[in-house]
């Protein structure tokens, strides 16, 4: 294993310079952890706050080697690093966390569905389909169209997910040139997320299950904990997250995105093995943030408590909208909603892009939602809805 130049200081290589890497920096400061970043460009979100960054390509093994050299562990802002490169790094003595074998299940939706089914974890009915005829046959098994088609790799924020009314409508999906997964269209009551942090030594802590509200395939709001969640479902969701983390030997943060069905079950939709948008509330609303617990977990340090600091936390994403100058809008937002915790990602504003989030905590759910939305709207649209 490679050792840090200064062995008293933990050093973590982070692959990918988005907002997730950026938000690892505040707890890294507190813990005295040195972050080293592989950034897509000199001024990407995380490169602005992590001085030790190299500009490179996460698909290039030499760039990955350069960043891993001298770091205690390697971790990720996204799951797009080719698995064969991660195996090569591991073979050379570097320590990717999560491991390539675990991360595979966050990289490939077909492998993930197959593995979870083996584990007895409930997932939507699904099948990998090679052509429109196979899609028609699958649709027959789930009561006909509409069905969902997804690319198995590389999707994010709803890109690579289509709801189709017939096989012809899936042409775009088949044109991507990857295996395509067909799924039953789940008529869910809402979407939930269950997060855990797990260390290589096995210690695991779980966060409260949250409700995630999406618009156009993008997470827009998170309410923590999920309001009026049935105790049995809460237990199921946490047990599922723990089962997956242990069976797949996940290290670091794991987010399990779930559908709560109309008939009171939970089905797993997606896995993420890194901090996740549905856990941003933990920065301001939990005893230990997901970013701190991710660092602690990948470094095999004791994990922090996860309980909420206030009865409710509401996180609202700020998407690129009418306001171009987010910093210029700050005085207005902070004046209108002083209690809002504003997190800007230093990203250029583009329509629909996640450029920041706000969190408001409190003991009155309705008021907390109103205040958080107000702050986010002022940042996004310049007005309140």
DSSP characters over 107-134:
HBHHHHHHHHHHTT-----EEEESSHHH
- In the three-class reduction of DSSP (H, G, I as helix; E, B as strand; rest coil), residue 147 is classed as strand
Using the contact rule CB under 6 A, the part of the chain among 30-38, 157-165, 284-292, 299-307 near ligand ADP is 157-165
Give 170's DSSP letter.
Answer: G
Q: Judged by CB under 6 A, does residue 111 bind ligand ADP?
A: no
CB of 327 to ligand ADP, least distance (A): 29
Binding residue for ligand ADP (CB under 6 A) from 79, 108, 191, 236?
191
Beta-ladder partners of 344: 356
Q: Judged by CB under 6 A, does residue 270 bind ligand ADP?
A: yes
Q: Judged by CB under 6 A, does residue 31 bind ligand ADP?
A: no
Binding residue for ligand ADP (CB under 6 A) from 101, 136, 157, 166?
157
Task: Answer whether 254's CB lies under 8 Å from 278's CB.
Answer: no
Looking at the Cβ atoms of 183 and 260, the one nearer to ligand ADP is 183
Q: Judged by CB under 6 A, does residue 243 bind ligand ADP?
A: no
368 exposure class (CB count in 10 Å sphere: 0-12, 13-18, 19+): buried
Looking at the Cβ atoms of 149 and 205, the one nearer to ligand ADP is 149
CB of 135 to ligand ADP, least distance (A): 14
Beta strand 210-215 pairing with 218-224? antiparallel
CB of 149 to ligand ADP, least distance (A): 10
| Farthest CA pair distance, the chain | 61
Binding residue for ligand ADP (CB under 6 A) from 40, 108, 183, 380?
183
Looking at the Cβ atoms of 159 and 309, the one nearer to ligand ADP is 159
Neighbours of 186 (CB within 10 A): 17
- Report the C-alpha gap between 197 and 294 in whole angstroms: 7
Structure tokens at 83: 């698995």
Tell me how many residues contact ligand ADP (CB under 6 A). Answer: 20
- Report the C-alpha gap between 65 and 62 in whole angstroms: 5
CB of 50 to ligand ADP, least distance (A): 26
Task: Answer whether 132's CB lies under 8 Å from 116's CB.
Answer: no
The residues in 193-232 that bind ligand ADP, with binding defined as CB under 6 A, are 214, 217
302 exposure class (CB count in 10 Å sphere: 0-12, 13-18, 19+): exposed
Looking at the Cβ atoms of 269 and 288, the one nearer to ligand ADP is 269
Which residues have a Cβ under 8 Å from the Cβ of 67 and sit 6 or more positions away? Answer: 13, 15, 36, 37, 38, 54, 56, 74
Q: Judged by CB under 6 A, does residue 156 bind ligand ADP?
A: yes
- Report the C-alpha gap between 78 and 156 in whole angstroms: 10
Q: Judged by CB under 6 A, does residue 317 bind ligand ADP?
A: no
Q: Judged by CB under 6 A, does residue 260 bind ligand ADP?
A: no
Looking at the Cβ atoms of 236 and 257, the one nearer to ligand ADP is 257
Q: Judged by CB under 6 A, does residue 124 bind ligand ADP?
A: yes
Looking at the Cβ atoms of 40 and 183, the one nearer to ligand ADP is 183
Using the contact rule CB under 6 A, the part of the chain among 13-21, 43-51, 158-166, 171-179 near ligand ADP is 158-166
CB of 265 to ligand ADP, least distance (A): 14
Give 209's DSSP letter.
Answer: P
Binding residue for ligand ADP (CB under 6 A) from 158, 179, 346, 382?
158
Residues that bind ligand ADP (CB under 6 A): 124, 148, 150, 155-161, 183-186, 191, 214, 217, 257, 269-270
């Amino acid at each position: 294993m490679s050792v840090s130049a200064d062995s008293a200081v933990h050093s973590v290589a982070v692959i990918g310079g988005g907002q997730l890497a950026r938000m690892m920096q505040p707890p890294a400061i507190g813990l005295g952890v040195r972050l080293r970043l592989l950034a897509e460009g000199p001024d990407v979100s995380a490169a602005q706050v992590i001085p030790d960054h190299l500009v490179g390509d996460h698909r290039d093994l030499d760039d990955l080697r350069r960043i891993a050299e001298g770091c205690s562990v390697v971790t990720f802002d996204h799951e797009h690093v080719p698995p064969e490169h991660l195996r090569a790094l591991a073979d050379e003595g570097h320590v990717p966390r999560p491991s390539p074998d675990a991360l595979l299940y966050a990289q490939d939706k077909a492998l993930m569905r197959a593995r979870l089914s083996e584990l007895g974890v409930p997932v939507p009915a699904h099948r990998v389909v090679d052509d429109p005829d196979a899609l028609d046959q699958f649709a027959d098994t789930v009561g006909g169209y509409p069905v969902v088609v997804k690319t198995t790799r590389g999707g994010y924020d709803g890109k690579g997910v289509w709801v189709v009314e017939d096989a012809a409508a899936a042409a775009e999906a088949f044109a991507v040139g990857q295996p395509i997964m067909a799924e039953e269209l789940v008529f869910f009551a809402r979407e939930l997320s269950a997060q855990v942090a797990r260390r290589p030594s096995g210690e695991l802590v779980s966060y409260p299950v949250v409700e995630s509200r999406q618009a156009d395939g993008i997470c827009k709001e998170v309410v923590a904990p999920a309001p009026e969640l049935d105790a049995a479902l809460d237990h199921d969701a946490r047990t599922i997250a723990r089962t997956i983390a242990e069976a797949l030997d996940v290290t670091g943060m794991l987010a399990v995105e779930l559908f709560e069905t109309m008939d009171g079950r939970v089905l797993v939709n997606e896995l993420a093995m890194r901090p996740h948008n549905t856990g941003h509330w933990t920065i301001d609303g939990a005893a230990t943030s997901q970013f701190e617990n991710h660092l602690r977990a990948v470094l095999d340090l004791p994990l922090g408590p996860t309980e909420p600091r206030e009865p409710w936390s509401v996180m609202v994403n700020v998407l690129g909208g009418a306001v171009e100058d987010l910093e210029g809008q700050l005085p207005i937002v902070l004046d209108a909603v002083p209690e809002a915790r504003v997190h800007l990602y230093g990203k250029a504003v583009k329509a629909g892009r996640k450029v920041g989030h706000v969190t408001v905590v409190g003991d009155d759910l309705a008021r907390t939602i109103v205040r958080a939305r107000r702050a986010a709207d002022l940042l996004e649209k310049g007005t309140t809805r």
